[in-house]
Amino acid sequence: MSVIDSVAAPGSPPQQQRSTPPPKPPAEKQPPLQADTVARADAPLQPSPLDAFVARNGGAAGVGLDALKGLAAGDPTGWFPKGPLPTNATMTDEHGYTYKSDMFGRPVSASGNLKSNPNPTGTRDAAAKRAQANAGGADRLATDDGGHGLANRFFGRSDAWNLTPQDTNLNHSAYRSVENGWAKTLDKGGGSVTAESRAVYDQPTLRPTSYVVTSSTNGDAPTLRVMENRANAGFSSASDVGKSEAFIKTMGRVSEGLEVAGKVAAPLAVAADAYRLGSAVQQDGGTIGKHTVETAGSVAGGWAGAAVGAEGGAEAGAAVGAFFGGVGAVPGAIVGGVVGGVAGGLAGSELGTDTVQLAESAGGAITSAAKSVMGWFSK
């Protein structure tokens, strides 16, 4: 059973609608949560976990998801990323390379059988240089380059299909080393390389959090390589909390956007919770103090209900228990379990791939958020 199935069939009429999500009870009024209570999916929690889940989400989760779909189309909240490409599009160019965009018009993959370009710089005109200098728009960091998915030296395009804001260190070290390896194979004569570079966006921005590059040389087993696009998201300890401000603001935009829309989808409520936790840590001066513990109690208590409905609910419940055993054990697992359940429900639903993709994107943001919170806690 998935979270969605347990709450309402997608598309069913709203059980309640309101202009803002219902307020959560103050943290100190949350009953203490026992790990053994949560881990048993058949043990009823007070109040009913499903009621709590539904209430938390401003009505039926299905309605929230419909709202999300509408938001993606109209986006009155302004927090969905607006990529430069047509949405969900595929384009194959004269070199036989295939480029794809996601539902936000962001470049997501570039692939093909690589060919060496003997004159890479000569094929880059002023427009190409401009595109490279502006990739990522407002989400580009000062320390970013316009990074090619497939390099210009292989005839990769220098336009929005193939450019993302990429940390300059990554662009000039790991990513370039991968390309050097490919070039070595091609230049040996008779060597072949098939490659796909995927941009992974864990946050609702135009800046990828990582790249997944899969390549096969001379028909041998493919290497799957993951390269983190750190700088923006790369804070991993409490001493880095200052850097996390951008992240906290992003999560703030998420929760504010939801309030404007008046409907909250389950995955995004998690993001808002991660934001609350992050804020609490910051209030406590980057350590685990009173605010953090109170907020964590409230968040975990609220999600316990959802976890019961989620596939893998027991696992999520155990995670909640672990959370209280020592804060080091983290909301990440809770969030993962819940989001997994939600995504599972969506995959089988009639809402279609757009919504699934949207939920995945939201799920990515949440995972990233949770990881960040873990980072703070691990200090």
Partner 1 sequence: MLDRYAELYEEIARELQRALPEGWTKTWAWSEMSANDGSVVVYYLDAAGTVGWIQPPLALYDRFRELNNAARRTNPALVWTSATFTLDAHGAFDVDFGYDPIPIEEEADRRAAWKIKYLPHE
The footprint of partner 1 (CB under 8 A) covers 170, 174, 177-178, 180-181, 184-185, 212, 214, 217, 220-228, 230
Whether residue 364 contacts residue 201, with contact meaning beta carbons closer than 8 Å, is answered with yes
Nearer to partner 1, 85 or 227 (CB): 227
Nearer to partner 1, 117 or 210 (CB): 210
Shortest Å distance, C-beta 176 to partner 1: 9
Shortest Å distance, C-beta 379 to partner 1: 13
Nearer to partner 1, 69 or 225 (CB): 225
Secondary structure of 203-255 in HEC code, one letter for each residue: CCCCCCCEEEEEEEECCCCCEEEEEECCCCCCCCCHHHHHHHHHHHHHHHHHH
Shortest Å distance, C-beta 212 to partner 1: 6
Shortest Å distance, C-beta 22 to partner 1: 35
What sign results for the dihedral spanned by CA atoms 245, 246, 250, 251? Answer: negative
Nearer to partner 1, 22 or 222 (CB): 222
145, β-bridge pairs? 166
Count of other CB atoms within 10 angstroms of residue 31: 11
Whether residue 172 contacts residue 186, with contact meaning beta carbons closer than 8 Å, is answered with no
Shortest Å distance, C-beta 238 to partner 1: 16
Distance CA 229, CA 4 (A): 33
| Closest by CA position to 305, among listed 43, 59, 53 | 53
Nearer to partner 1, 131 or 195 (CB): 195
Nearer to partner 1, 61 or 365 (CB): 365
Shortest Å distance, C-beta 334 to partner 1: 17
Whether residue 115 contacts residue 187, with contact meaning beta carbons closer than 8 Å, is answered with no
Nearer to partner 1, 43 or 226 (CB): 226
Whether residue 56 contacts residue 267, with contact meaning beta carbons closer than 8 Å, is answered with no
| Closest by CA position to 93, among listed 175, 162, 147 | 162
CA 345 to chain centre: 18
Shortest Å distance, C-beta 226 to partner 1: 6
Q: What is the DSSP letter of 328?
A: G
Helix (H, G, I), strand (E, B) or coil at 113: strand
Nearer to partner 1, 293 or 374 (CB): 374
Shortest Å distance, C-beta 225 to partner 1: 4
